[in-house]
Structure 1
Amino acid sequence: MLMERISELCRKNSAYLAAGATVVGATAFLLKRFSNVKNNRICGIDYPRDVVILHPLGRGKTGPDTSHFVIKLETYLRFHKIPYQSDINIDNYKLGPKKKVPWIEYNGVTMGDSQMIIEFLNKEFNVDMDSHLTKQEKALAWAVQKWIEEYMYWLSVQSAWVLFIDETFRDGISPFPMEEKSAVKKWVSNMTYTVGVGRHTKEEIHEMTVSNLRKFEDVLGDKKFIMGDKMGVVDCAAFGIISQMRWLTPSVCPGSRLFLEGEIPDVVKYLDRIRDQYWPDWESPIY
């Protein structure tokens, strides 16, 4: 995902940067800074056993991480009370096996991709957030999750990191220093253009963002969670993406204004419900 790939640009990955030749010049200074990264960490020596080591992207001023999928995974970990630690030492940031965040280390296993990690930890800890759903309900939840992760996600990224990137950096939402803004914008623009979202006009992106948030309001209705009274993995994913649209996107974005002006009250209550229950430290996470 895009936010996960920003970490590749701004932390260390000369091969990937070479592939994106248009941004090499703007980001070359980053390569030296992160050229001495330690790999092949040993469980029990470099990190403790029986504890998930979570590697995030970086905190923003108004939320615990600027990666949608870090928030997704961390909400899952908190729901199941799985013991974990976040490795937030930026200077020692280590790219994972899939060259994106989040990634984890657990008892000698190193794994990337939030969904694959969830499925792995389900087996390791014998847990399943979706055990209350029927086969058909699981399929429907998956369809909703993919809509949010594969479409609304990109609208969120295009809004915060291209259209309103000046405000994202100015307001302290970005974890990256100001001198990296130009490089980040070029990289994001290239990715969103390839995906297709970046080919739309600013006005079209605004309309799509507002329309999809209103559709999500319709999906929720008066339910506590997407599939009813119990939370599932789809809610972790939805919270990861839509919390960014509310709390980690500049207020000038039309999508953000829907929250501020009370036009999607069920979504507001939904986000508040998950944040209050699983993120009491949202303003200053305790790691």
Structure 2
Amino acid sequence: MESIIQTIVNNKVQVLTSTIVVLAGAKLLSSFFKKEPVYERDIVYIYDFPQSSMPVIHSSPFVLKVITFMRYANIPYKVINSMENGPRAKKPFIRYNGELVSDSQNIIEFLTEKFNVTSLKLKDEQQEAEAHLLRRYIDDAFYWSLVYSRWCDPVFSPVAVRGMLAGVPPMLFGIISRIAKSAVGKQLYNAGIGRCPREEIYSVAVKDVNSIAKRLGDSQFLFNDKLSVVDISLFSMLVQLYYAIEPTPISKAIKSNKNLVDYIERIQNIFKPCDFVCSSRSA
């Protein structure tokens, strides 16, 4: 077994090339026999990653954000689990009556206009401005601590990566997981967080959690009793961290703030049944 592993390591370029050729051939063959899907009018088709075994069924917070928005706004949709990427080479993206839209916030703004969603609008421009800043922080800063814990943390990532890539065939798991972890590591480095030691990453993340808890206070939602799009953004991120496949410093920090636990449960309870969380998979 060791000699086989060493052979693969020494010839990783050839192995990778062969793997790509096999996958490309399989994809070409399947595309030859595959019928072009029929898209119904007035249905939103949202493209998600292949199914994982993570506690949150939609393991991308951005996919979950759009789905939660559509559930709340009673927008008819269907989920397509696929390796296909959208116009910006990322997920989620949607297809609606022939139009393709990428990026979770762009999608929500597009659907808000198409379906005339007004129930999530805040009362004034000042609240909207604060909500914009909070959402930018959640989506573009807080997010990276989730990515680190899942893909690069030496303690927690081995279990999380297996959960994230549960749909990958066993014979390809090793090479695909190494490629994925390497790519994510570069993203984290470019974002800045990957240049920090592990203890500092979690120290900052725990401070972030505690700050969010203080901002929420005793309110039901971020802006008192009014659910808004930024609540959906925060919920979609917190729920990924709260229902961790392995307990992390971040999940422990969330659980130590009762108002955040209540907040997660309050938003979950809006949706009956709440079928996007499989708590039995959570640590």
> Percent same amino acid among aligned pairs?
29
Residue 144 of structure 1: how far off its partner (Å): 0.9
User: 181, 205, 219: which one pairs with 2:177?
Assistant: 181
TM alignment of 1:189-200, pairs within 5 A: 189-200=185-196
Residue 256 of structure 1: how far off its partner (Å): 1.5
Residue 227 of structure 1: how far off its partner (Å): 1.1
* TM-score w.r.t. length of structure 1: 0.80
For 2:203, give the aligned amino acid: E
CA distance in 2, matches of 1:220, 1:24: 50
Residue 79 of structure 1: how far off its partner (Å): 0.6
CA contact (8 A) 1:66 1:174 kept: no
Partner of 2:249: 254
Q: What does the per-residue CA deviation read over 1:115-160, in whole Å, with 9 as the maximum and x for residues that have no partner? A: 1111111111111344232000000111111111111101111111
CA contact (8 A) 1:130 1:138 kept: no
1:263 and 2:256 equivalent?
Answer: yes
Partner of 2:161: 169
CA distance in 2, matches of 1:215, 1:87: 36
Identify which range, 266-275 or 58-67, moves more after superposition: 58-67
Partner of 2:148: 158
Partner of 1:245: 241
TM alignment of 1:27-176, pairs within 5 A: 28=17, 29-30=19-20, 32-33=22-23, 35-36=27-28, 46-61=38-53, 62-88=55-81, 90=82, 93-163=83-153, 164-170=156-162, 172-176=163-167
**What number of residue pairs does the alignment pair up?**
251
For 1:219, give the aligned amino acid: R
Residue 258 of structure 1: how far off its partner (Å): 2.3
Gaps of 5+ in 1: 1-22
CA distance in 2, matches of 1:155, 1:100: 19
Residue 176 of structure 1: how far off its partner (Å): 4.9
CA distance in 1, matches of 2:143, 2:202: 14
CA distance in 1, matches of 2:47, 2:265: 25
Larger Rg: 2
* TM-score w.r.t. length of structure 2: 0.81
Residue 56 of structure 1: how far off its partner (Å): 0.8
Gaps of 5+ in 2: 1-11, 279-283
CA distance in 2, matches of 1:26, 1:220: 51
Q: What does the per-residue CA deviation read over 1:177-225, in whole Å, with 9 as the maximum and x for residues that have no partner? A: 3422211111110001011111110010110111111111111111111
| Shift in CA distance, 25/99, structure 1 to aligned 2, threshold 3 Å | farther
Residue 31 of structure 1: how far off its partner (Å): 6.6
CA distance in 1, matches of 2:149, 2:178: 15
CA distance in 2, matches of 1:27, 1:236: 39
